[in-house]
Amino acid sequence: MMRCSLWGSIHCAGAFDATPIVDTSLKAFRAMIDVNTITCFLCSREAVRKMRATGDPLGGRIVNVGSKPAHVPAGGTIAYSAAKAAVHALTLNLSEELAAERIWVNAVVPSTMDTPANRKAMPKADFEKWAKLSEVAATIAFLASPQNAVTRGALVPVYGRS
């Protein structure tokens, strides 16, 4: 039987919603929780199971993707912000739970990222201020790497100039 080991697990599934609370349905709120929080929980749980099964004394790395509006209120993003705040809480709590096993858990916390979808949605914005995907990816790659020998429990802002 072939044994598959896991060193790093990056959880970047998510969706965005910008709806004021009075216009946010319970269905839409639950959808944000399902896509942003539940996927993070399930991926983290399975990553921990796999990392523990390998018995690697160096542990492993988990990197989640949070969001700036969960830290810095943006208004009109109640469902999205609540779901990402739960991702932040999951990250911080897992970091403490897994520290003794050297499984470091962190999250990147991007602001608006420079993607084609965001450019289309906000055509008058200053795209140069937004974090580039490659810059966010570089931060994730470091946090998920063996070179990250000490950083855990961090919610790392990757805001660019926005």
Please, are residues 90 and 41 in contact by the beta-carbon 8 Å criterion? yes
State the burial class of residue 55 (Cβ atoms within 10 Å of its Cβ: 0-12, 13-18, 19+): exposed
Q: What is the DSSP string of 133-161?
A: HHHHHHHHHHHTSTT-SS--S-EEEE-TT
Task: Find the catalytic residue in 29, 80, 104, 130.
Answer: 80
Distance (Å) of CA 113 to CA 9, 104, 133 = 21, 25, 7
Decide if 80 is catalytic: yes
Please state the pTM of the whole predicted model: 0.93
19: tokens are 């709806």
pLDDT at 1: 46
Span 97-120, pLDDT tens digits: 999 999 999 999 999 999 999 999
What structural domains and CATH numbers belong to the chain? 8-158 (3.40.50.720)
Segment (H or E) for 58: none
Span 24-71, pLDDT tens digits: 999 999 999 999 999 999 999 999 999 999 888 889 999 999 999 998
CA–CA separation, 32 vs 116, rounded Å? 21
Question: What sign results for the dihedral spanned by CA atoms 124, 157, 26, 45?
Answer: positive
CA–CA separation, 4 vs 14, rounded Å? 26
